[in-house]
Structure 1
Amino acid sequence: MKKSLITLLFFITLFAINTNAQEMFQTVDLKEATLVKEDSSKEFCNVCGMDLPKYYKTNHVTEFKNGHKEQYCSIHCQAQIHEDYEDKIKNIQVVDTNSLKLIDAKSAFYVVGSSKKGTMSAVSKYAFLTKNEAEKFIKEFGGEIHTFDETLKIAKDGLEKEKKILDEKRIPVAKKGKKIFESMCDINQMKDFNSIGEAKQYLIDNKICNNLDAQMLQAVSVYLYNPILARDNSKAIKVPEDAKCPVCGMFVAKYPKWVAQIKLRNTHSHYFDGVKDMMKFYIEPSKYNHNHSKEDILQINVTDYYSLDSIDAKEAFYVIGSNVYGPMGEELIPFKNETQAKKFMEDHFGKKVLKFEDIKKEMLF
């Protein structure tokens, strides 16, 4: 019995080791990786923030026409950049799975769908210098050979589905990141980011946080890039799925980042897809077929831009004239923190920070 138990434990350990090796097929030592960037983002992906040596065998390097180079952990992240900046790209390189050298992506042979784990995608994509090397890989691990353009199209076609999967996985990470940010970072330095990698570089370069290890830094970066993943639903404005904005007629629940609410005494609530529409209704309800007086209103709530918490509209600070747009275009952006509002105004070319009583009818059209 004892011998059988020892044997069982041996095979469980062996399985765990082999499984981990399978999961980390992409990983190489830092000294084996060619990293092309020279700034503080040198070792992580500019899109997702993940460690480049850890996912090195799927790395891609893009050189832009202005000479700037960026490095991405995968063709998934490369595809996101390609969609937005294709006309600015000069050339793309990919890591050859065997030699670990950077090779021209256009002439590489990609094996798509092997049994080796993918990076940022359930469907793996590994590149090889020669067709012969790709075929040898297929004999052992399966998959099909594709050109770069074909593989890029596969990656682009899967972006929307993969983004949803990744966002689900990132929810606990973002929630952890929010707690870390609020306890160990300067919350007045909050701002918008186009990618996790951009947020990560900002944190490093500006020393926003104290004593973060690699995992904590990634978690905070995930949160800053997409705060909605860490939203505390118990603190958010609860919107019925069928609620329509009385001003523009849009379904409000589709825009959780912009929700505003007017609660009436002993009757019902109106929901809006932005502060601007809410204020139009508040100032002139009869224009939208309602005859509420100011005395009928019990509470007015808006959504804090960063935390996504419901806050008292009359206590909030609003940035007008910024380059950040809501569902209905130009918007009054609400904040519970005046310092954050002022920084947002500076970052996004806003014209002024207003209090509730400062908002006038002529500002809304």
Structure 2
Amino acid sequence: MKKSLSLLMFLFALIFTNLNANEMFQTVEPKDATLVKSDSSKEFCNVCGMHLSKYYKTNHVTEFKNGHKEQYCSIHCQAEIYRDYKDKIKNIQVVDTNSLKLIDATKAFYVIGSSKEGTMSPVSKYAFISKDDALKFQKEFGGEIHNFDETMKIALEDLPNDNKILDEKRVPIAKKGKKIFESMCDINKIKDFNSIGEAKQYLIDNKVCKNLDKQMLQAVSVYLSNPLLASEKSKMIDTPKDAKCPVCGMFVSKYPKWAAQITTKDGHSHYFDGVKDMMKFYFEPSKYGHTHNKDELKDINVTDYYTLEITNAKNAYFVIGSNVYGPMGEELIPFKNENQAKKFMEDHFGKKVLKFEEIKKEMLF
């Protein structure tokens, strides 16, 4: 298994790059890389978790207005941060491809679309301190020259398609990561994360797993950052694409992480985009155009928040009043594991952990 996993991780690390890591244009010796952080995330990108010196020639560094600095492997990952935190950014630096020094990104000349491999994107983007350097690179390897604003705009526009391709590549990695996490890690320390890098740093700092090599650590981080990648459809609520929530009218299949289901004894299923709407229907089906009584209900299922697996609602634990919101705002967050529910409540300022029978109509906001 370890040999197979290492191969998969090797392939993942080379997404959009040459198959021979030693020939990667972006790679430099660790001694030649300027790494600005001093914590446990110093050597990897805070967004994707990739090794910074391996992709050093496309590194970007962001200094935020509060003085905090982060380093990213590419303008793709930098764009993820720029999109969400633009107003909090003080300045951005980029590695000059030739000198390997950090330079002001707003004054750099980027060559986009050269024959050199890209980082986290099929379209390469390399920065230079002078236009003459950019022109020399362009003459040899092709591409177009752009300033920072133009390059960032292109990177932002490319994010949806690039992320779609990346997620497809990450599926087998996430599945391996799920198996590793469940067998070699403390599952009661599970959390939700905004990025692979964030998950990776948490695993390192809190010693959640034992005896993981770098590839295994990356695989677990990929899984924790997006459990949906590792989810088997056979273990999830199978929601028809045209199914609408009878309470709010939203298409439930758009929100697989929140799906809930009530099935009657005659085989008819109702689908909901969250436990809250499901419980509203459960207590007052007539309010939503149905006449079921509770004796006619066969199965009530919810989606476990972390594993995304179908879970019998009557055996589940629900966190109420947390700062995690579903498609319809405040939500009852379901778990099949009581310890994970309690940990989630602590992490997200929840008010209480409830069993199914403890949920009351007046609690549904």
Shorter-chain TM-score category? over 0.9
For residue 8 of structure 2, what is the aligned residue in structure 1? none
Distance 1:163 1:23, change over 3 A: farther
Q: What is the total number of aligned residue pairs between the two structures?
A: 348
Q: Is 1:133–2:133 an aligned residue pair?
A: yes
What is the CA–CA distance in structure 2 between the aligned matches of 1:267 and 1:174, rounded to whole Å? 34
- Partner secondary structure for residue 311 of structure 2: strand
Could you say which residue in structure 2 is the equivalent of 1:30?
Answer: 30
Structure 2 equivalent of residue 151 of structure 1: 151
1:266, distance to aligned residue in structure 2 (A): 2.4
Distance in structure 2 (CA, Å) of the matches to 1:48 and 1:21: 18
Gaps of at least 5 residues in structure 1 are 1-17
Q: Distance in 2 between matches of 1:23 and 1:160?
A: 28
State the partner residue of 1:303. Answer: 303
Which portions of structure 1, spanning 4 or more consecutive aligned residues, are displaced by more than 4 angstroms?
Answer: none
What's 1:218 paired with?
Answer: 218
Tell whether the 8 Å contact from 1:23 to 1:117 is kept in structure 2 after alignment. no
Separation in 2, partners of 1:254, 1:165: 19
Matched, 1:45 2:49: no
- Whether the 8 Å contact between 1:178 and 1:223 is mirrored in structure 2 is yes
User: 1:160 & 1:90 partners in 2: Cα distance?
Assistant: 26
Matched residues in 2 for 1:58 and 1:333: separation? 40
Q: TM-score, normalised by structure 2?
A: 0.94
- Measured in 2, the distance between the counterparts of 1:77 and 1:344 equals 28
Q: Which residue of 2 aligns with 1:15?
A: none
Counterpart position of 1:182: 182
Look up the match of 1:342.
342
Deviation at 1:110, TM superposition (A): 0.6
Match of 2:116 in 1: 116
Q: 1:304-348, CA deviations, whole angstroms, 9 ceiling, x for partnerless residues? A: 000010011000000000011111111000000000000000111
Q: What is the CA distance between 1:170 and its match in structure 2?
A: 0.8
Deviation at 1:88, TM superposition (A): 1.5
CA distance in 2, matches of 1:172, 1:96: 34
Q: Which amino acid aligns with 2:184?
A: M
Deviations 1:238-276 (A, max 9, x none): 111111111111111111001111111123111111111
- With over 3 angstroms needed to count, the CA separation of the structure-2 counterparts of 1:23 and 1:248, relative to structure 1, is farther
Q: Distance in 2 between matches of 1:119 and 1:270?
A: 44
RMSD: 1.1
Mapped to 2, the partners of 1:348 and 1:228 lie a distance apart of 21
Quick check: which has more Rg, 1 or 2? 1
Identity %: 79
Structure 2: segments with no counterpart, 5+ residues: 1-17
2:273: which partner in 1? 273
Assess if the C-alpha contact under 8 Å between 1:22 and 1:117 holds in 2: no
Deviation at 1:199, TM superposition (A): 0.4
Structure 1 equivalent of residue 14 of structure 2: none
Q: CA deviation at 1:19?
A: 6.0
Q: Which amino acid aligns with 2:309?
A: D
Any idea what the Cα deviations from partners look like across 1:80-116, whole Å, max 9, x if unmatched? 1111111211111111111111111111111000000
TM-score (norm 1): 0.94
Measured against aligned partners, the alpha-carbon deviations of 1:115-145 in whole angstroms (never above 9, x if no partner) come to 0000011110001111111111111110011
* Structure 1 position 23, deviation (Å): 6.0
Name the CA distance, whole Å, in 2 between partners of 1:19 and 1:222: 21
Matched, 1:65 2:97: no
Instruction: Report which stretch shifted further, 83-92 or 339-348.
Output: 83-92
